[in-house]
A and B are shown apart, each in its own frame.
Chain A
């Protein structure tokens, strides 16, 4: 089977968000990720109800540096006596909001750019590919630091900056899939029927890339949560909100290491770990769902490759190996011309 056909098959395994959630739920690891993520979202929404103390209350002079106890499940800070358990609960809001918000915004921009580059071709394609190339070599972290401190330290700016520097990975992957999709029968039929280019892009091509977009959203959300924690740790987050990265920075600045207040460091670490872990599980399991041959261990490897945006090749390679097993769907059996295939 030729490569474009394999790509078409990958595309046909996509579906709506509901099918994805159902498939995830059937996978034990996916269920773990979904439950964890769901719990975190609930905690973030119900934060004012769940938190036993006011996390912003910095006047508890008598309760400074308390060890974890029944009254303060995760102890208090050594500087102002804030309840760490309540801070942890409130911190989930920032992490999830930035992570999911950026992930979704990135998915929109990346998909738009990728579909435009792949389908329109020509000048637009050239321009987008050049921009992607430039984004790859720009020192991202320094630029993000510069922009957040120039444009103001609000979460809107942070999301904006993450989106500006993060869409390139998804766009590359989508583009190579679209290059194949645009030669398929149903797209040609739509073109002949006189559909507009925008209609074809949104109604015919975009659905074929849905699995990549959803998977990418989960994985980038996880990555953005780590990055956000890093920015807050450097003191570049919103100064008025409680976030896990900022908690770590305060712990270091407040002498948690010196006074042996281990609970102050471990608590935000666990928060970051759980949120990143759950979203990463969802992303990895999604890859396994649409490519069942992939073993769990190799999908971690895919995650590392994902950072280099080369993992799709790997997926195709492993799918080409299964060509004898999977039958070609009859309605799309005519092979697209190989010119559309992009290496």
Chain B
């Protein structure tokens, strides 16, 4: 039963991956019928014959000499060798190399954001649930109302203005030399984190509030369970009840929402990266978009969706393991 469920989920994930792959292949090249017209517009004084030769040449160079379906097959063959094609930038770097170069910098932001929002959310949520109805709880409620209605890039701009320009606590823009000069020395690592402070802060705020709300509600639900009442009635210390009885059981909804959020974590940093000019995947994608570098766009989008599909799959499977009450049959 369980094994068939696992296999079924994996097959379904592979199916979805193929559909997404196909969409990813065709959507970015809407409008790219002929790369020559897009990338090498006819110059003054060029005869039609000359331009035809250039067109023919670029078509071969970009692989547009065959039909779209053959290009698709070619792309799939490349994918089997983990080759996402070649970027249209000067020097024609490999798409995979570009992604590998930028990914760690995005991970610095997203992993720190995840860790901070998780721990702070757990802390604040538990406090709010424990002090239900008092000012701590009200504060969390009001903070949520405000934070949901404010876009993260507005918060980023305000932080950059007050903490960056006014108080000069952190750099308001990312130091352009940060990536080039990085050499794993202690100073370089410290520089990365002072530069990352403001982006991480502006990204964490929403996460902290979200996880606090989930923790709060789940802790309150568990606190009303009979076994917690029993534990309290036995005269166990508050701390023991909280850690051993309440929190352990309250963490399950949190685990699910982490799994759902991880998928969007890398792609979610696009706007914040743009605000601080952080050289990560988000800015790479925006660069690719503004230069119509479709192989790069396809590669990044494929990477992001593969990541999201994998995260969803792992969450679904973990959920069955973590919560023995879940029956496998009725899950879609």
Contact = CB atoms under 8 A, between A and B. Distances in A.
B16 A150 contact: no
A146 B148 contact: no
A149 B217 CA distance: 41
B104 interface: no
Contacts of B20: 134, 137-138
Interface stretch (A68-76, A102-110, A192-200, A250-258): A250-258
Given A141-B268, A269-B158, 17 more contacts: A133-B16, A134-B20, A136-B312, A138-B23, A139-B267, A142-B270, A150-B31, A248-B153, A248-B154, A251-B157, A252-B157, A252-B275, A262-B161, A265-B161, A272-B151, A297-B216, A301-B214
The interface centre, meaning the residue of B154, B214, B268, B300 with most chain A CB atoms within 10 A of its CB, is B154
Interface in A229-269: 229-230, 233-234, 245, 248, 251-252, 256-258, 260, 262, 265-266, 268-269
B31 A145 contact: no
A280 B275 CA distance: 26
A149 B257 CA distance: 32
A168 to B, nearest CB: 13
B308 interface: yes
A129 B304 CA distance: 22
B150 A273 contact: yes
A155 B297 CA distance: 23
Taking residues whose C-beta sits less than 8 angstroms from the other chain, chain B's interface range is 35 or more
A147 interface: yes
B19 interface: yes
26 contacts: A137-B20, A137-B305, A139-B267, A141-B267, A143-B27, A151-B30, A229-B153, A245-B151, A256-B161, A257-B157, A257-B160, A257-B165, A258-B165, A260-B166, A265-B157, A266-B158, A273-B149, A273-B150, A276-B149, A296-B141, A297-B141, A298-B217, A300-B148, A301-B216, A304-B213, A304-B214
B286 A234 contact: yes
A160 interface: no
Interface in B269-320: 270-271, 274-275, 285-286, 289-290, 297, 300-301, 304-305, 308-309, 312
Contact of A308 (B216, B260, B301): B260
A298 B157 CA distance: 30
A300 B145 contact: yes
Interface in A298-315: 298, 300-301, 303-304, 308
B8 to A, nearest CB: 13
A257 B275 CA distance: 12
A137 B14 CA distance: 12
Closest 8 CB pairs of A and B: A139-B304, A276-B149, A277-B149, A301-B213, A139-B267, A137-B308, A269-B154, A300-B144
A283 to B, nearest CB: 11
Nearest to A279: B149
Interface in A205-230: 222, 226, 229-230
Contacts of A134: 16, 19-20, 23
Contacts of A296: 141
B171 interface: no
Interface centre among A139, A248, A256, A273 (most CB of B within 10 A): A139
Interface of A: 129, 133-134, 136-139, 141-143, 145-147, 149-151, 222, 226, 229-230, 233-234, 245, 248, 251-252, 256-258, 260, 262, 265-266, 268-269, 272-273, 276-277, 280, 296-298, 300-301, 303-304, 308, 343
B285 A142 contact: yes
A143 B301 contact: yes
B257 A139 contact: no
Contact of B151 (A136, A229, A300, A308): A229
Contacts of A137: 16, 20, 263, 305, 308-309, 312
B28 A146 contact: yes
A330 to B, nearest CB: 31
Given A269-B150, A300-B145, A149 B289 contact: yes
Contact of B158 (A149, A150, A265, A301): A265
B271 to A, nearest CB: 5
A308 B146 CA distance: 20
A301 B213 CA distance: 6
Nearest to A136: B312
Contacts of A230: 151, 153, 271
Nearest to A269: B154
B286 A145 contact: yes
A140 to B, nearest CB: 8
A319 B157 CA distance: 43
A301 B157 contact: no
Contacts of A129: 332
B27 A147 contact: yes
